[in-house]
Structure 1
């Protein structure tokens, strides 16, 4: 198996949790009342919206997604693009539009809301007294701190009028169905998109919420694809919940001692950034650290990537490395948080484009 085959395993996982596939399967498995409005928000919003539009072509549709992720959105949909991971003016405009649509629905109406990762930055409506500059400073501070998703969501919700169930708190209709693609540990609707598709504890409407795709589903699909090629699956864990400085030695040691076969890890690491970081994201940094851990190992290759196709504020999903990737010049790139530039110069970046999903990250290793 070569590098291209590692990418095939990655795509097997991604396609199993792609937004259109996940929503189509969920709607086929359990009936959903005809919606009077469909809202899709997140990095996978366009793909999720396609499947919902196929099922309910007459329902008005609002899509809020990341810049350059609107391709494939249904014709006739209202599409708003904004920034991620740090919000911008269009994020505020999208948040205001969400509030307008949800609060203006009729008393007997049904809302279908499709949520995927990235919604926290893509749509925001701050509490009175807080402007974009204040929100941006808070977001950048949290991202640089290495805080986990729970701490970040608590901070976001405290200053938001749409997060933590507050958006649906403005709904005065009869029923809401939320279909969510999970990008968080534990698959909690209260955490996905900072709870933008969650209902408040006190509500006067019927609420049906379902998780339609997750990291576990993606990892299972990678494992099944590996087995179909005759490869044993030696590891399949959702354990990437730590700082990359702690994860890299741990995973590296496991892989150096590993039996032949495919080793799959999932989750979402954290990273602490220095002042004025260079180019890259957590997956590119982790990939380069793992290249250091496996240097000199023959027959060991690794793919480290975000399932959404973007790693931090870059156009790369991650990287593919092996025992020959590392050299001593990489140490300075790591210190400057510039792993992306180094990996690009050495032909190791993995670029997939938007994938139509977002279920955190995958590390796929192959030991010959």
Structure 2
């Protein structure tokens, strides 16, 4: 692997991610939209701490806040913020504690209250309050089933809304105040507020309060920043598309076919692939699976480096963000790892695993391909 190309791919990816970090995205939106100081803040998602930090930088650190995020994603916040860490992508007991806490916080606000809601990807699992009669075990079983079916986020979150007392705008139905301002980092195709976090910050027209929603970061913004960085490195950007919305194997075949004969330059794709899991999956996530499947498709191609990674820094139930491969990465035993959904183990063994750590954002995934 060309070390220069490997470094460039990572610089391009990081520039895209940094452009949509929660802290800066929230600060920009609050200041540009001249949002009034809220009486209470709730932040839910993988980027919840970063987003809350942005609000505190604008309004000061004395506003009461409830922040719900993934384990190991907590960041230092003022004492006025209560932080709850929970599981992702399958909810756990702490997810239910977070769901109850969110409902109590919203219900307790007075009539003239202004509530600031900060939502990012991962909220669907991190905070939950199941419908009456649905146990945590049953909820976990259903979520595991949904994750293994290869469904897109719209289909999964539609089902999650049916099982929840707080999703689909139900949480805000308990708000008796005057104004809800929602800032969302989009991790869904089309940037629909009704889908992000299963619509935890959504508000149907019949609600009594005023509602101001804003999308503050998206895959499109990240891709534009990535393209800007590539151009700044003297590279020609030939592709910039949000089309990663099919099964990882279908996408690997399509992208691999294109890259085998692609001209020199940088190719950028965004979106969120799907993957069907076997009964007992191994180590990895959709980005690691796509990276390894791509390695098979471009095996033998010289002068090609491809980085596939989730912008949140975590891919499925792993600590890795994705993989970085070339035409020399593939080995014949790779098929077995793909069948067993164990791509992460293969990539780790061959020095092709990409780890970034939590990034403070979540705008789906980015693929950065550099053809020398």
* Pair 1:82-2:86 in alignment: yes
Aligned to 2:231: 227
Judge conservation of contact 1:184–1:359 (CA < 8 Å) in 2. yes
Alignment length, in residue pairs? 368
Structure 1 residue aligned with 2:197, among 178, 193, 197?
193
Judge conservation of contact 1:49–1:74 (CA < 8 Å) in 2. no
Q: What SS does the aligned partner of 2:189 have?
A: coil
Judge conservation of contact 1:20–1:51 (CA < 8 Å) in 2. yes
Aligned to 1:136: 140
After superposition, what is the alpha-carbon deviation per residue over 1:219-265, rounded to whole angstroms, capped at 9, x for unaligned?
A: 00000000011111000000000011211100001111211100000
- What is the correspondence of 1:1-368 to structure 2 with a 5 Å cutoff? 1-57=4-60, 58-368=62-372
Q: What SS does the aligned partner of 2:317 have?
A: coil
Judge conservation of contact 1:46–1:74 (CA < 8 Å) in 2. no
Judge conservation of contact 2:304–2:371 (CA < 8 Å) in 1. yes
Judge conservation of contact 2:306–2:325 (CA < 8 Å) in 1. yes
Q: What SS does the aligned partner of 2:206 have?
A: coil
1:34: how far off? 1.2
Farther off after superposition, 157-166 or 74-83? 74-83
C-alpha distance in 2 between matches for 1:98 and 1:106: 15
Q: What SS does the aligned partner of 1:238 have?
A: strand
C-alpha distance in 2 between matches for 1:265 and 1:273: 23
After superposition, what is the alpha-carbon deviation per residue over 1:269-295, rounded to whole angstroms, capped at 9, x for unaligned?
A: 000001101000000000000001111
C-alpha distance in 1 between matches for 2:340 and 2:128: 31
Judge conservation of contact 1:168–1:200 (CA < 8 Å) in 2. no
Judge conservation of contact 2:334–2:346 (CA < 8 Å) in 1. yes
Q: What SS does the aligned partner of 1:22 have?
A: helix
1:151: how far off? 1.1
After superposition, what is the alpha-carbon deviation per residue over 1:9-61, rounded to whole angstroms, capped at 9, x for unaligned?
A: 11000000000010011112111111110111000001101010111222111
For normalisation by structure 2, the TM-score amounts to 0.98
C-alpha distance in 2 between matches for 1:61 and 1:105: 12
C-alpha distance in 1 between matches for 2:313 and 2:236: 26
For normalisation by structure 1, the TM-score amounts to 0.99
Q: What SS does the aligned partner of 2:308 have?
A: strand
C-alpha distance in 2 between matches for 1:239 and 1:153: 20
C-alpha distance in 2 between matches for 1:74 and 1:334: 45
1:114: how far off? 0.4
Q: What SS does the aligned partner of 1:239 have?
A: strand
Judge conservation of contact 2:5–2:370 (CA < 8 Å) in 1. no
1:200: how far off? 2.8
1:107: how far off? 0.2
Displaced runs of 4 or more, over 3 A: 72-76
1:153: how far off? 1.0
Alignment gaps of 5+ in structure 1? none
After superposition, what is the alpha-carbon deviation per residue over 1:183-202, rounded to whole angstroms, capped at 9, x for unaligned?
A: 00000000000000111331
C-alpha distance in 1 between matches for 2:347 and 2:75: 28
C-alpha distance in 2 between matches for 1:200 and 1:168: 9
